[in-house]
């Protein structure tokens, strides 16, 4: 039986959410969707992202948890995974996507490496996702004839309604299919982001940067080989297992650096890693394992990663462009404890960072 492995990313303003799901093998019902424009919250000047990595949702209360403390085992099931996301999404949930769907939250999805292991192909999974309610997912970008994978697309986040940026994207979100496993017999291991995907990213980034020098964030499942460049001296968080990237380097990190707009990359895949490290101007971040039907570490809380993008105010006290991008993690404990706050990018800084700085809004 295939479990449903997700990397769920929830992007929210104070009154709306946007969810991106790294989904594996889930069957879904189709529904008509409305076109929604993502934009920053008018009251706080913020746009929020919750990344939920590796949910591994299976069949509810029948499915036992993995890697929990002995006193948790008797009563821990997939429903613990449901309860955790329910607390963050503030909506009842009886399946993996219920917080988004039942709350009418716009959401989108990216694929993980196990999605094709159920009765649906990777293309079928993305096609089915696109038909679900409130989703902004795309099977692949419109107008692109040849591109590897399924679920490569970008979404624009516009400025505050009524501001001079209301019709302009001031935050760009890129989603890519990092594949499953190598299809080249001489290359073992996991898949990678292919040249056709990198070309699409380059062209999209160029087009968007001509309109606005907006920062970007990238989301996909399998980490890049460059994640292995870090140790405890130069990241925030923990590294408790090896970096399960592709065994070859496709050069996508170099492509990101050359493009210049992406300030941080977010992945899942390695459940016991939750660190963020900065390399050549880009933060490479894990979310940490979320689901209870996935491998973890007994006594180490399941977790989700928050990202908050904040706007600056101009001389007329009106919301302007992006000022900063901050992150922390939420633990699945009785207090939903926030840990490891850090600034990923600031418009007016030289890019220096302090380890575990005090981040305003950490307990929001």
In this structure, what token pair is assigned to residue 41? 């919250």
Q: Which among 96, 86, 39, 138 has a CA at the least distance from the CA of 293? A: 96
Phi, psi for residue 52 in degrees, rounded to 5: -115, 110
Task: Write down the residue that tokens 């990237």 correspond to.
Answer: 245
Pairing of strands 303-313, 169-175: unpaired
Q: What is the pLDDT of residue 40?
A: 92
Q: Which among 10, 81, 53 has a CA at the least distance from the CA of 304? A: 53
Taking each helix axis as running N to C, give the angle between helix 195-211 and helix 252-259, from 0 to 180 degrees, rounded to the nearest 10: 10
Q: Which among 217, 221, 110, 220 has a CA at the least distance from the CA of 156? A: 217
The helix (run of H) or strand (run of E) holding residue 203 is helix 195-211
pLDDT tens column, 82-113: 555 444 622 222 356 666 677 676 777 788 88
Contact (Cβ atoms closer than 8 angstroms) between residue 266 and residue 285: yes
Q: What is the pLDDT of residue 132?
A: 78
Q: What is the pLDDT of residue 241?
A: 95
Q: What is the pLDDT of residue 190?
A: 95
The helix (run of H) or strand (run of E) holding residue 89 is helix 78-89
- How far is the C-alpha of 333 from the C-alpha of 121, rounded, in Å? 36
pLDDT tens column, 282-322: 999 999 988 777 788 999 998 989 999 999 998 888 999 99
Domains, the chain, in order of start with CATH, read: 8-346 (3.30.750.180)
Q: What is the pLDDT of residue 19?
A: 46
- How far is the C-alpha of 358 from the C-alpha of 341, rounded, in Å? 6
Lateral strand order in the sheet of 262-267: 38-39, 153-158, 169-175, 216-219, 262-267, 282-286, 276-279, 235-236
Lateral strand order in the sheet of 107-111: 107-111, 17-23, 8-12, 46-52, 303-313, 319-331, 338-346
Q: What is the pLDDT of residue 118?
A: 62
Q: What is the pLDDT of residue 75?
A: 60
Q: What is the separation of C-alpha 297 from the centre of its chain, rounded to a whole number of angstroms? A: 22
Pairing of strands 303-313, 319-331: antiparallel
Which residue ranges in the chain fall short of pLDDT 70? 1-36, 55-68, 72-100, 103, 105, 115-119, 350-364
DSSP for 344-363, please give it.
EEETTS-S---SS---TTTT
Q: What is the pLDDT of residue 234?
A: 92
């Amino acid at each position: 039986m295939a479990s449903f492995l997700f990397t769920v990313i929830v992007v929210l303003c104070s009154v709306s959410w946007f969810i991106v799901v790294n989904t594996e093998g889930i069957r879904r019902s189709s529904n008509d969707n409305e076109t929604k424009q993502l934009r920053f919250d008018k009251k706080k000047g913020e746009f929020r992202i919750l990344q939920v990595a590796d949910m591994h949702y299976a069949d509810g209360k029948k499915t036992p948890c993995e890697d929990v403390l002995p006193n948790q085992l008797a009563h821990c099931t997939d429903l613990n995974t449901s309860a955790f996301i329910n607390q963050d999404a503030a909506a009842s949930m009886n399946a993996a996507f219920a917080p988004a769907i039942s709350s009418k939250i716009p959401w989108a999805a990216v694929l993980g490496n196990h999605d094709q292991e159920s009765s649906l192909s990777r293309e079928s999974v993305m096609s089915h996702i696109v038909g679900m309610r409130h989703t902004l997912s795309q099977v692949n970008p419109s107008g692109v004839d040849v591109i590897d994978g399924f679920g490569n697309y970008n979404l624009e986040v516009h400025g505050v309604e009524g501001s001079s940026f209301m019709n302009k994207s001031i935050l760009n979100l890129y989603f890519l299919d990092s594949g499953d496993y190598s299809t080249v017999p001489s290359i073992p291991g996991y898949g990678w982001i292919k040249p056709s995907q990198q070309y699409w990213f380059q062209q999209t980034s160029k087009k968007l940067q001509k309109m606005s020098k907006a920062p970007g964030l990238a989301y996909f499942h399998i980490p890049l080989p460059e994640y292995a460049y870090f140790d405890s001296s130069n990241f925030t968080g923990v590294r408790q297992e090896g970096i399960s990237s592709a065994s070859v380097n496709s050069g996508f990190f170099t492509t990101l650096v050359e493009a210049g707009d992406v300030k941080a990359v977010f992945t899942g895949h390695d459940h016991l890693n939750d660190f963020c490290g900065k390399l050549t101007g880009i933060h490479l971040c894990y979310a940490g394992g979320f689901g209870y039907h996935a491998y973890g570490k007994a006594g180490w809380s399941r977790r989700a990663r928050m990202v908050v993008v904040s706007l600056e105010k101009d001389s007329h006290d009106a919301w302007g462009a992006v000022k900063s991008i901050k992150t922390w993690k939420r633990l699945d404990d009785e207090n939903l404890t926030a840990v490891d706050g850090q600034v990923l990018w600031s418009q007016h800084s030289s890019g220096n960072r302090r380890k575990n700085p005090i981040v305003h809004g950490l307990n929001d």
